[in-house]
Amino acid sequence: FSSRRRHTRCSRDWSSDVCSSDLSNRDIAAMLGISLTTVETHRARVLNKLSLHNAAEIALYALRRGVIR
C-alpha cells in the first residue's frame, strides 16, 4: 500500500481533518507521500472555497460541523 491508499476516507472529512490538524504542511506531505506543493495548493483551495483565512478557521469550521472532535 502506498501512503495515499491508507487515507481513503470520504475526501471532505479527510480534507477537513488534514487541513485543520496542527501538523505542518511538510509533515502532512511526508505522512501522505505527496509533495509539499500539493499540500499547500490543497489547503489554499480549501481556504478559498470556504472563504476562510487560516488553519485555525478551518479547524473551527470542521469542529462546528462535527467533522472533528
The DSSP code for 22 is S
The mean pLDDT value for 6-13 works out to 49
Q: How far apart are CA 63 and CA 31, in angstroms?
A: 22
Q: What is the pLDDT of residues 23-50, one digit of tens each?
A: 888 998 898 899 999 989 988 998 899 8
Report which of residues 62 and 38 the model is more confident about.
38
Q: DSSP alpha helices (H): ranges in the chain?
A: 3-6, 11-20, 25-32, 36-49, 55-64
pLDDT for res 8 = 45
Is the predicted pLDDT of residue 65 greater than 60, yes or no? Answer: yes
